[in-house]
Structure 1
Amino acid sequence: MVTNQPPAASAKDNAPENSVAAIRRLTEKGYDSTTAEDLAEAVGMSRSTFFRRFGSKDDVVFADHDHALTQLERFLDSTTLPPAEAVVEGTADVLRLLVRDPEAARLRFELMRLTPSLRDRELVITHRYERVFARYLQAALPAEAAAWATPALAAGLVAVHNTTLRQWLRDPHPDVVPLLCRDLRQLVSSFTPWLAKPGTTPGANRVMVAVYDTAASPEEVLSSIAAKLGA
């Protein structure tokens, strides 16, 4: 599948590459006991450079999510994929980024489990993802779509992603992205009436599975199929 490539990453976008050592230090010393100097030392930066790059301890933990949100917004703003595929591919890209470094993902999960304030920040991140999807869907769905369709699908995409990520953290699976895409397409199929490609009528294309007697002639088979299609 060909998708639009996001613009070149900025230095800020590359911050996640430097965050693993900092997250490890936070996990080892405890979130409240770790100072900015500890984190700067862990990533090999001066204190001032650390603050320019990350901003705060919270920002270190959620650097990958900030990067993923930026990537998702760029993708949805530029993609030419049909909406049903765009939301699946965009969500899959988020998961690819978050699981690309299994150690960082595991450490982040453990740190959030032990730190209530980080779990609160995680809820804020979740709402940010939902808003990105909702903004895209608001423009992509037709005016006649049900009022609940946009928020319901946006929340569903994030919920399926988060469930898949947590399952992977407990039991890493090499095919986690294809499995996510499968589940997302099942979710999106519930919104097919509003996510059809532009210029098509939902339900206009139909698939028929025919079961016929092997002794029947080709003409009889065709006649039977034609009769069903006309029903």
Structure 2
Amino acid sequence: MTVVRTSHTHAHAVDAAIELFSRQGYEQTTVEEIADAAQVSRATFFRRYRSKEDVVFADHELLLEEVTVMLAATRPEARDDGERAWDPATAPYLEVCRAARLVFDHHLGQRATSLARYRLLQQVPALRDRELITTHRYERLFTRYLRDTLPADRSSTVQSIAFSAGVVAVHNAILRRWLRQPELDLRPELEEAFAELRRGATADLARRDQPVPTTTVSADGARVVVVQVDPGTTAETVADAVRTALA
């Protein structure tokens, strides 16, 4: 019940602040006016939101917590045996996309607030800066999750950052299209874009798993191909690597 009340309180404060900013102007609106409209004291306002910029994105504070909990529940050690199969090399990418979809659905579910906030962001540079901070927090959360959850040989910080940045960039690009044309249903496009990112990430992993041949020339001028492979590598895989090197 506490979570429900807190969520409602944050939503009310966000709506109140955006309505006042839109009607009166950002600079002209005081913290006291926002606190009165949100039906909280000035002290309570600063304890919860710290600034005028923060209150506009207060709903994302709760959403970040929800995403954190959701991702934590997908870690192998937190899963029940009866849940769907977990592929450690690919499933973490899927879970990050699911988390990003949750954020997208939040915007769609709060249509009036999302549209009003978008219009406000076009007018107030300080709020655009605050939006960037919120975006980077999602990106860091996704990166940390991938780095901690992918197998050790595939969880490089660079790879995790690249995928997380791609997910956030795709999400934001499609979200902005929806904010400009809210009559469109862009969720299928979002799903396909996320699927393409996952295909790219797993293709990179597959290429890293392939044996890398080196070609040298012997003293008599013959080409020598050397392929270093792991135990269990099939003969077909080795042959493919040699054919590639010779080509």
> Could you say whether these structures have the same fold, taking a TM-score greater than 0.5 normalized by the shorter chain as the test?
yes
> Are 1:124 and 2:133 counterparts?
yes
Match for 1:190: what amino acid?
A: G
Work out the CA distance in 2 between the residues paired with 1:177 and 1:20.
25
Give the match for residue 208 of structure 1: none
Runs of 4+ residues over 6 Å off in structure 1? none
Aligned counterpart, 1:71: 66
How many residues in Structure 1 have an aligned counterpart in Structure 2? Answer: 193
Point out the structure with the larger strand share. 2
Partner of 2:11: 17
| Separation (CA, whole Å) in 1 of partners of 2:7 and 2:178 | 25
Q: Which has the higher helix share?
A: 2
Counterpart mapping for 1:103-114 below 5 A = 103-114=112-123
State the TM-score, normalizing by the size of structure 2: 0.69
How far the C-alpha of 1:124 sits from its partner, in A, is 1.4
Q: Kindly, what percent of the aligned residue pairs are identical?
A: 39
Flag the structure with larger Rg.
2
Tell me if 1:172 matches 2:182.
yes
Do 1:138 and 1:150's aligned partners in 2 also have CA atoms closer than 8 Å? yes
CA 1:147–1:45 in 2, change beyond 3 Å: closer, same or farther? closer
2:108 counterpart of 1:93: no
Contiguous gaps of at least 5 residues in structure 1: 1-6, 197-201, 204-230
- Name the structure 1 match of 2:222: none
The structural deviation recorded for 1:138 is 0.1
Q: Distance in 1 between the 2:182 and 2:139 partners? A: 25
Q: Which residue of 2 aligns with 1:30?
A: 25
Among 48, 54, 57, the alignment partner of 2:43 is 48
Answer whether contact 1:160 1:180 (CA < 8 A) is retained. Answer: yes
Q: TM-score, normalised by structure 1?
A: 0.73
CA contact (8 A) 1:15 1:63 kept: no
Tell me how large the CA RMSD over aligned residues is.
Answer: 2.7
* Bigger mean CA offset, 155-164 vs 60-69: 60-69
* Distance in structure 1 (CA, Å) of the matches to 2:205 and 2:10: 34
